[in-house]
Amino acid sequence: MPAKLELALGPLRPRNPIFSASGTFGYGQEMEPFVSPAEYGGVIGKSISLEPRAGNPVPRVIETPSGMLNSIGLQNPGFEAFISDYLPRMRQYGTILVVNIVGNTIDEYVEMARRLDSEDGVDAIELNVSCPNVKGGMQFGIEPEATRLLIDRVRQEFRRPIIAKLSPNVTDITVIARAAQEGGADVLSLVNTFVGMAVDWRRRKALLPRFTGGLSGPAIKPLALRLVWQVAQVSSLPIIGIGGICNADDVLDFLAVGARAVQIGTVQFVHPRVVRDIVTGLEKAMNEEGMESLEELVGTISAVPAQ
């Protein structure tokens, strides 16, 4: 009998704790030949803005040791086209559907949240307040009062769960986490990508046209674990851990530091069917450890004794 993988995430009840991270799953269509969205606890679409965005010039992705840098520039078809051309199909996916939104102003977030509130099948929204690749993309995620105010305004328009996706590019993430909670977020997801750079010194070139990009992949896992652990100490909100997760052990590491779910991203570019292996791996690990519920693991770490 397979182990039970359900773990409540605030008001959400995913069948397993694996979500696909925004920007790594499109709006599902490109992934359908490889994997059924229903194999995930939930799927999260690429950020939608009120107006369509063409995104940044290419190249947009550079591989780095144990990771990658990207600078997509929030390319997306815009809110109207998302609702008419993509959302109907996503509603059929049979798993939790999260719509990630990004705005230039608070009013833009609020407008999209208001309209999504009346759309069936949207189980939650995730607020991208942490895009490193467009001018002003991080403005709502690096200053606590801006974070609180944005979420407070969105809260007034959207009755289902709000997930605030936090940036690691701050001095103290716990201050932003507290502000998100005060604003009325239901769930925190962390972390978004780290601003990084790749250069070719012989050509005297930065390898991305806008110099910097967002670093993701296994290279960031220890950094992300630390940030999730820190936030779990100060916030009572459920946390979705994100950062370099590739296999079941990575998922369980994030649960041990306090996450109740995870998002997988970069690994899907290498192995688009990875969710199946992770689910099987979680069931195997739980059976081996005699765990009846993942709840037993959440936030249980202590430090090894000093020698």
Q: Which residues bind ligand DHB (CB under 6 A)?
A: 23, 70-74, 128, 130-133, 192-193, 214
CB of 307 to ligand DHB, least distance (A): 39
CB of 167 to ligand DHB, least distance (A): 8
Query: CB of 227 within 8 A of CB of 168?
Result: yes
Closest to ligand DHB by CB, 166 or 239: 166
Query: CB of 240 within 8 A of CB of 187?
Result: yes
CB of 115 to ligand DHB, least distance (A): 21
Backbone φ, ψ for residue 70 (5° rounding):
-130, 150
Is 246 known to be catalytic?
A: no
Closest to ligand DHB by CB, 73 or 183: 73
CB of 72 to ligand DHB, least distance (A): 3
C-alpha distances (whole Å) from 94 to each of 27, 43, 91, 121, 278 are 14, 10, 7, 10, 19
Q: Give the active site residue among 90, 113, 131, 255.
A: 131
Please name the amino acid found at residue 29.
Answer: Q
CA-to-CA distance for 272 and 281, rounded, in angstroms? 16
- Classified as helix, coil or strand, 211 is coil
Which of 279, 289, 302 has the alpha carbon at shortest distance from 7?
A: 279
Closest to ligand DHB by CB, 170 or 282: 170
Q: What does 2-50 look like in DSSP terms, one character per residue? A: PPP----BTTB--SSSEEEPTTSSTTSGGGTTT--GGGSSEEEPPPB-S
CA-to-CA distance for 1 and 61, rounded, in angstroms? 42
Please give the DSSP secondary-structure letter assigned to residue 137. Answer: T
For residue 84, the cross-strand partners are none
Closest to ligand DHB by CB, 10 or 23: 23
Closest to ligand DHB by CB, 138 or 297: 138
CB of 192 to ligand DHB, least distance (A): 4
Return the active site residues.
131
